[in-house]
Structure 1
Amino acid sequence: MRKLSKKSRITAAVAGVALVAVGGGAAYAYWTTTGSGSGSATNSAGGGTVTLHATFAGGLAPGNQVPVAYTADNATTSGTVVGALSANVTTNVAGCLPAWFEVTAVTTNTLVAANTTGTSVGSGTLKFNDSGTVNQDACKSAIVTVNVASQ
């Protein structure tokens, strides 16, 4: 066997150290570790606000009544439930008293899907009560408005 020169021994030693370093690095690549992290996103604002509508035929006279259809529009990105409805009457003529009118609103909890219009949410009646003792001519050609809200 031949003896290695000083230069060859240094080269062999450096190569050995390099192999150990590379081998150690490869072994490190297979070690396990721990860690943590998180992610987040904002949910929809939920429910949102729906627009309610009351639709009924015109031409009421004292003692008559007409059916009322209640619908809802939902422009939000999530569905919402319309609960119990409440309704009242206003008129555009001071002498045409809202107290002469009676409006009902019957509903159950109704799902109004996201981005929909005209979803039926209830029904009722609008009655023009005949006072029997007071002249109700002020209501001739008056505009009667049914205002509706949900709880």
Structure 2
Amino acid sequence: MSTKKLTFKLGRKTVAALTAGFLIIGGGAYAYWTTTSQGTGAAPNAASNGSIVLTASFAPGLTPGASAAVSYTADNPGTSSLQVGTISHVVSTSNPLCLPADFTITNVPSNTTVPAGSDDFPIAGAGTLSFADTSVNQDACKSAIVTLTLTAN
């Protein structure tokens, strides 16, 4: 049995045509018509606009009959600006014998817009924390920590 060797010589144009043909067959050939389209897209907004963390600062060392100025800052970790309306306070102390009723502070109107992503943003409005000078022994308040728990609307 004899074996014959077949040899093909392809020109550049033939190779280019074959390559294009393989690409069309392998990659798929697409035909299309143009048209007009319509549609909509919808998604709900956030159910909540986030929350602000309020912080009150006042000087230490309050004594009976004295008052201290209270200033406020806010942290807004959210993605939208939020409004602080009026700041309300609840006073508590670290010693149960130091009566929170001996301390007073009125609500503070602020109406401050706190930008998104803010840390320690200064809040408009200042309060005054007063320590009553009563006729009762207030030694239980010596070194007691006074805490203001804040809420705003």
Q: Is the contact made by 1:70 and 1:123 (CA closer than 8 Å) also made in structure 2?
A: yes
When you count helix as a share of all residues, which structure comes out higher? 1
1:64 paired residue number: 66
Distance of 2:66 and 2:58 partners within structure 1:
13
1:103 matched to 2:105? The reply is yes
C-alpha separation in 1, matches of 2:94 and 2:100? 10
**Partner residue, 1:12:** none
Query: Could you tell me the TM-score, scaled by structure 1's length?
Result: 0.72
How far residue 150 of structure 1 moved from its aligned partner, in angstroms, is 0.3
Match for 2:95 among 93, 96, 108? 93
Is structure 2 residue 127 aligned with structure 1 residue 124? yes
Q: 1:57 offset after TM fit, Å?
A: 0.5
Q: Which has the larger radius of gyration?
A: 1
Asked whether the equivalents of residues 54 and 70 of structure 1 are also in contact (C-alpha less than 8 Å), the reply is yes
Alpha-carbon RMSD: 2.0
Q: 4+ residue runs of structure 1 moved beyond 3 angstroms? A: 40-46
| Count of aligned residue pairs for this structure pair | 121
SS in 2 for 1:107: strand
- Do residues 51 (structure 1) and 53 (structure 2) align? yes
Query: Which residue number corresponds to residue 12 of structure 2?
Result: none
Matched to 2:143, the amino acid is: S
Are the aligned partners of 1:46 and 1:80 in contact in 2 as well (CA < 8 Å)? no
Once the two structures are superposed, what CA deviation does each residue of 1:99-143 show, in whole Å capped at 9, x if it has no partner?
000113422311000000112223101110101x20000000000
Partners in 2 of 1:75 and 1:44 — Cα distance?
15
In the superposition, the TM-score normalised over structure 2's length comes to 0.72
Q: Which runs of 5+ in 2 are unaligned?
A: 1-32
- Once the two structures are superposed, what CA deviation does each residue of 1:25-79 show, in whole Å capped at 9, x if it has no partner? xxxx57xx55421123454555311001110011010000010001110000111
Counterpart Cα distance in 2 of 1:79 and 1:47: 9
